[in-house]
Structure 1
Amino acid sequence: MSFESAITFFIAIFIFGITPGPGVFAILAKAMVEGSRRCFMLALGMTCSDIIYLTLACLGLATIAEHWSGLFTLIRWVGAAYLIYLGFKLFTSKPHIDPTTASVAKRSSLEFIQGFLISASNPKVILFYIAFLPTFMDLGALDHNDIALAAGLTLFALMLGLMLIAFCAHWASKRLQSPTAMKRLNQSAGSIMMGAGVYLVSRS
């Protein structure tokens, strides 16, 4: 991959990362209520899942999307159920800072898994990379360095895009500090997260 191709690849992945979807909606909802820092492991989980798909696409294992369709369906339902559960808890929570913070700490170890499930639930991502990668590299002549470079660029681009979204969402939410505003914020964030879960379930 040339320097020019690497730059173009990075920009394209960045745009792909901030395109609205279940992952972006989950980041928005979490950042609005819990802050941008709490989104790091969630974003990292989504990014790692994408990198796995990218690597599989580079290795020519596209048939995995068909052969493991049952597994992807199970992952999608688990991820959707968890999103709806978290969204419902946000929607019904009281606008107090301390209890919210405590509940966040208890589930911090699940944030990476949640992010991974959100992204892994969509086997069509691997098809995107299969169609996308030949624009920037010859898939028939790849070596380990090319795959490592593509994975590194994807990691940086996706994390940058997702954390930028998280920062902007948190910045906007800080302007809403009254109890009424916090209640509406929780309800809005919860609705977004539940909507992302419903989208995962309804997607073919």
Structure 2
Amino acid sequence: MLTPTSALTFFAACIVLALTPGPDNLFVLSHSVTHGARAGWKIIAGLCCGVLVHTLAVALGVTALLKASPAAMSVLQWGGAAYLAYLAVAEIRSAQANHDTSGSQPKAVSNLWLRGFVMNVTNPKVALFFLAFLPQFVDPSESIPLQITQLGILFALSTLLVFGSIASLAGSIAKRLLAHPSTRKVMHYLSAAVFLGIAVHLVAS
């Protein structure tokens, strides 16, 4: 079991990390501004589930095995980049289409939970980060898998707290921006640019 001191120290570190600009919070921000706070929250739910998958992978030793296989890491990396490129294309198509705001939901905002989940799970940098970060807060004399699991849950909670705040704030701005079709179109293109930027970052560094 984690000690209260270790848990609080870890949670504080997670809050700082979640506030640091990165692919995940940019992903949430772009969706929340383009599609509203509800879309952002669905993305967050997917991201948090991805965090729990990475946690389980570290606890069971799967991440260590992946790290030892450059081919597996490369497949994961390029798969994640390809999915982000697909999302960028979906946003561009939404920008080019004439959507009736009272009509059906555009394809670009379907399966939002899955978007967040796939983006997180297919990012090998997240896997390697968890492998390096979580064990620093583990007491070797206690059950390591249990402590890793507890740390992962705390990480997911910090993500929910910080990213949820981002989604809510961005969603309030979106209500004003999305009232104008021309602005809505620009936001779709900006979201596409964000996705492509994250994809390039994923494979280039």
**TM class by shorter-chain length?**
0.7 to 0.9
**2:72 maps to which residue?**
71
Conserved in 1, the CA contact under 8 Å of 2:34 and 2:187?
A: yes
**1:103 maps to which residue?**
107
**1:7 maps to which residue?**
8
Unmatched 5+ residue regions in structure 1? Answer: none
Of 158-167 and 127-136, more deviation after overlay is shown by: 127-136
Residue pairs, 1:13-52, within 5 angstroms: 13-52=14-53
Instruction: State the TM-score, normalized to the length of structure 2.
Output: 0.79
**What secondary structure sits across from 2:200 in the alignment?**
helix
Structure 1 residues 119 and 36, CA, compared in 2 at 3 Å: closer, same or farther?
same
Structure 1 residues 18 and 117, CA, compared in 2 at 3 Å: closer, same or farther?
farther
Conserved in 1, the CA contact under 8 Å of 2:67 and 2:73?
A: no
Render the CA deviation track for 1:37-86: whole Å, top value 9, x for unaligned: 12333223322222233334345555323234323322332322222222
**1:149 maps to which residue?**
150
Unmatched 5+ residue regions in structure 2? Answer: none
State the shift of 1:100 in Å. 7.1
**2:202 maps to which residue?**
200
Of 3-12 and 53-62, more deviation after overlay is shown by: 53-62
**1:88 maps to which residue?**
89
**1:114 maps to which residue?**
115
Render the CA deviation track for 1:128-156: whole Å, top value 9, x for unaligned: 33433344321453256534432321221
Conserved in 1, the CA contact under 8 Å of 2:28 and 2:44?
A: yes
Structure 1 residues 78 and 87, CA, compared in 2 at 3 Å: closer, same or farther?
same
**What is the aligned length?**
200
Conserved in 2, the CA contact under 8 Å of 1:75 and 1:121?
A: yes
Letter matched to residue 103 of structure 1: K
Write the distance in 2 (CA, Å) between the matches of 1:139 and 1:25. 36
Instruction: State the TM-score, normalized to the length of structure 1.
Output: 0.79
Write the distance in 2 (CA, Å) between the matches of 1:139 and 1:48. 26
Write the distance in 2 (CA, Å) between the matches of 1:144 and 1:65. 18
Write the distance in 2 (CA, Å) between the matches of 1:67 and 1:134. 18
State the shift of 1:185 in Å. 1.9
Write the distance in 1 (CA, Å) between the matches of 2:160 and 2:83. 22
Structure 1 residues 102 and 185, CA, compared in 2 at 3 Å: closer, same or farther?
closer
Conserved in 2, the CA contact under 8 Å of 1:84 and 1:195?
A: no
**1:57 maps to which residue?**
58
Write the distance in 2 (CA, Å) between the matches of 1:146 and 1:123. 22
Letter matched to residue 72 of structure 2: L
**1:183 maps to which residue?**
185
RMSD: 2.8
